[in-house]
Structure 1
Amino acid sequence: MKIGIFGAGPAGIFAALNVRNVIMNDIYLFDANPRIGKKFSVTGSGRCNITNLNIQSDAYFSFQPANLKKIFDRYSPIHVRNILDELGIPTVTTDDGWVYPQSYSANNVVQILRDHLDSRGIHIIEDTKVISVENRNNEFILTVDNQQKKFHFDRLVAATGGKAFPQLRADTSILKDFEKMGIQTVPFRPALVPVELSEKTFQPIAGIRMDAEIQLFKNNLLIRKNIGNIIFTDFGLNGPGIMNLSHLIDPNNEKIFSVIINFLPESNRKQIENFFEKTRKTPFHYRSIFLSLLPEKVVDFFFNRWKLPENTICSDIPIKNMHAHLKDMQSIRVGIHTVKGYKFAQASAGGILLSEIDLDTMQSKKIPGLFFAGEILDVTGPCGGYNLHWAITSGIIAGESINAQAD
């Protein structure tokens, strides 16, 4: 059986590696980049954040939700780590559950995976873009950009990814051919991307990185909130705290969205209140209460906002003023101007609707022999290895399913 896989990122590579127990398979792995596995190189700043111990299905977003629980139960982080270990890629974890290869090198991971592909006789065709796909007489016909001959396959896995990282030759134009086959898609939008705000409210604290609660509003309706690490920048917000919400912002209607930043989640607020209660009748500096929990630059930002001198003492602050200050620290609202583009996005949301595939096999419900894996599907996870886990898992399922069909 002749098998074509196009898109040699994590999903495509693991699909190829899992079609391995059939003697007569002839497997071709295409990639538009000069070297396979480029998507690994942009995860974890080159350190390859490959999965996360905290992965659960409800952390993922799809425009048309589906039950992914059985997938992540079947391919848990422990299971994926065991697979990596068998491939000679031992992993380590951080205190918060992020998983990296022990080498902390995406390049090392790609080299090891390539060695496995080569040793199994898989044809690797790099620097070659698939520009069209036809389905004719139970056969898939691929046209590529640098060869006159067409490639014919009995089974096909599309693992071309989404629109993030155009600098890595991300290209979703092939979706038009699947749409002609009757497969439904939802438009892509940037995900895990920084957000530009409509005002320069936070410019005085640009460069500060801290944990805070972020609430995302559409018009005046709260649509999601979470606590995470955010980076204040000249243009707005960066970091996982805001990036994990960015896919919910409609890139065609950004102006109707806004965020509220809460610098004092409830437990921190209680600490401030308790500390103030002990010192409110003393000459203790009011500023020092906030320095106990917040970066100095942030404290100075608020003191300027409240028009308070640095040497203000607690006995000069009425309780009602202190409560007003805490309320302000928990409720700064700023409008959204835009989300940064795909060049700055770690992932994209959208793609082929999950209702189009059998999640047990990753096979199209309409086109037998056609499989999908990775970011081309409408599944988006938060920062921290979630999307790489999905890519690897869906690739494994596609490869194993082809394997089963050929047995």
Structure 2
Amino acid sequence: MRDIAIIGGGASGLVAAITAARLGSNVTIFERQNRIGKKILVTGNGRCNMTNLNIKPEYFHTSSQKGCFAPLAKKDVETVLAFFNELGIERLVEKTKVYPASEQASSILDVMRMEIERLGITVKVDTKVIGLKYKENKWQVETETGETEVFDRVIVSTGGMAAPALGCDHSGYNLLKKLGHSEIETFPTIVHIVSPTKYCKMMKGMRFKAEVSIFVENELKRIERGEVLFTEDGLSGPPIFLLSRVASESFKDRKACKIHFDLMPDWTKEDLVAKIYERLANGSSKSIEDLFVGWLNKRAIMAVIKEANIGSPVAPCENLDYEMIERLAECMKCIVFKVEGTRGFKFAQSTAGGICIDEIDLETMASKKAPNLYVTGEVLDVDGDCGGYNLQWAWSTGLIAGEAAATV
């Protein structure tokens, strides 16, 4: 029977622990927080978007030229769903996103905790690992209290930098760097984008379905559609989260970045000009501002008029000439928001960057730098888009590492 230490009781660590224990290993989980799985509880706004049926390489990001898809292909979505179904989780599918049928993230953690207890896995909470030493074909695991335990295999599943209040910090990277691994610079992703543009504060609290495009040094990088939330210091909402990796990386690299905000993505500029003329014909006595009431959100109306620079919003519509109408249409199709990076790791859902995956055997998640050492989850230089992709990476790598540590 092998003795296996799991450093970190998050998503990938818990799956690795269960997998290894089922294969006959004696498993101990070391968790620095006062309970395991805290971050799981907040995923998917408490519903746990546990995976996505549309797992493709383009939804995952890494600095490695070799890509990162091998673990996701080896332990795919159906493998993960079967694992959780065996534990008692029924699936709820919304488009391609998968949630537990209970719509409670706590269900995911509850069934894993029950299985951990059934398998007799040792769980040590409030226990921070500060050192790993390989000596005489064994791993010595040193904790902050000065205690040392010996194991045959170690799986590092310490997570990334996102959500430090839930126990995420730099400790996992430090452990692995001392063993010869290298770290790709980290930065927050799936996070609120910061913009000094005056319209953010003007439209604070407003939700608007739109198309948003992000440019770096005037080069288009990505386009997304969905509901955008305006905040006092920037932009949030699902499509913004999908653009945030580009914004965060450009800020890190000190490159100019901006977002083009299309209020009317299903309309051409010519369609909008025609519609404005139609509304003018039906209400030429109105003010310019009133002309748009019933068509646009009131605060969006003010932003469009200000951006178009056509004078007072209370001026009569009859003052509008063709050039002014064109400018209004252009601004409905594109208001530019300067980007000044993102909020920090405190507000992020995931971490970009991390331990270089070229130093990991992606067939087993084994370290190429140290024997009988495995690495999983967010601590690695892999991050997925918003929508269940990061949890799929955690589950897949945890399943592979747990299996390999117990059998290879």
1:15 aligns with 2:16: yes
The answer on whether the counterparts of 2:279 and 2:291 sit within 8 Å (CA) in structure 1 is no
The answer on whether the counterparts of 1:374 and 1:390 sit within 8 Å (CA) in structure 2 is yes
The answer on whether the counterparts of 2:75 and 2:400 sit within 8 Å (CA) in structure 1 is no
1:52 aligns with 2:52: yes
The answer on whether the counterparts of 2:22 and 2:119 sit within 8 Å (CA) in structure 1 is no
CA gap of 1:291–1:159, structure 2 versus 1, over 3 A, is: farther
Q: Deviations over 1:135-155 (max 9, x none)?
A: 223322111113x33111111
Alignment of 1:95-174 (within 5 A): 96-146=95-145, 148-174=146-172
Q: Show the counterpart of 1:395.
A: 398
Alpha-carbon distance in 2 for matches of 1:178, 1:76:
27
Alpha-carbon distance in 1 for matches of 2:200, 2:135:
57
Q: Show the counterpart of 1:339.
A: 342
The amino acid that maps onto 1:129 is K
Q: Show the counterpart of 2:223.
A: 225
CA gap of 1:80–1:289, structure 2 versus 1, over 3 A, is: farther
The answer on whether the counterparts of 1:52 and 1:98 sit within 8 Å (CA) in structure 2 is yes
1:185 aligns with 2:188: no
Q: Show the counterpart of 2:92.
A: 92
The answer on whether the counterparts of 1:4 and 1:29 sit within 8 Å (CA) in structure 2 is yes
Number of aligned residue pairs: 401
Where structure 2 has 5 or more consecutive residues not aligned to the other structure, the ranges are none
The amino acid that maps onto 2:38 is K
Greater CA deviation, 108-117 or 61-70? 61-70
1:299 aligns with 2:298: no
CA gap of 1:275–1:331, structure 2 versus 1, over 3 A, is: closer
Alpha-carbon distance in 1 for matches of 2:380, 2:88:
28
TM-score (norm 1): 0.89
* Partner-residue secondary structure (3-state), 2:384: coil
1:201 aligns with 2:199: yes
Cα distance, 1:280 vs structure 2: 6.0
* Partner-residue secondary structure (3-state), 1:66: coil
Alpha-carbon distance in 1 for matches of 2:194, 2:302:
23
* Partner-residue secondary structure (3-state), 1:206: coil
* Partner-residue secondary structure (3-state), 1:259: strand
Cα distance, 1:278 vs structure 2: 5.4
Q: Show the counterpart of 2:325.
A: 322
Alpha-carbon distance in 1 for matches of 2:205, 2:244:
20
Alpha-carbon distance in 2 for matches of 1:98, 1:193:
19
Cα distance, 1:399 vs structure 2: 1.2
Q: Deviations over 1:379-403 (max 9, x none)?
A: 1112222111211111111112223
Q: Show the counterpart of 1:31.
A: 31
Q: Show the counterpart of 2:386.
A: 383
The amino acid that maps onto 1:222 is L
CA gap of 1:162–1:202, structure 2 versus 1, over 3 A, is: same
The amino acid that maps onto 1:104 is E
Fraction of identical pairs, as percent: 31
Cα distance, 1:293 vs structure 2: 6.0
Q: Show the counterpart of 1:357.
A: 360
Q: Deviations over 1:321-377 (max 9, x none)?
A: 333222223332232234211111111111111111111211112323111111001
Cα distance, 1:44 vs structure 2: 1.6
Q: Show the counterpart of 1:6.
A: 7
The answer on whether the counterparts of 1:200 and 1:236 sit within 8 Å (CA) in structure 2 is no
Alpha-carbon distance in 2 for matches of 1:394, 1:283:
62
Alpha-carbon distance in 2 for matches of 1:254, 1:190:
15
Q: Deviations over 1:109-160 (max 9, x none)?
A: 21221010110111111111111112223322111113x3311111111110
CA gap of 1:71–1:268, structure 2 versus 1, over 3 A, is: farther
The answer on whether the counterparts of 1:280 and 1:317 sit within 8 Å (CA) in structure 2 is no
Cα distance, 1:216 vs structure 2: 2.6
Q: Show the counterpart of 1:210.
A: 208
Q: Deviations over 1:186-236 (max 9, x none)?
A: 121111111221332321111112232333333333333333432111111
Alpha-carbon distance in 2 for matches of 1:359, 1:270:
52
Where structure 1 has 5 or more consecutive residues not aligned to the other structure, the ranges are none
Q: Show the counterpart of 1:40.
A: 40
* Partner-residue secondary structure (3-state), 2:29: strand
Greater CA deviation, 385-394 or 132-141? 132-141
Select the residue among 235, 238, 241 that pairs with 1:240: 238
Alpha-carbon distance in 1 for matches of 2:105, 2:29:
20
Cα distance, 1:93 vs structure 2: 2.0
The amino acid that maps onto 1:295 is N
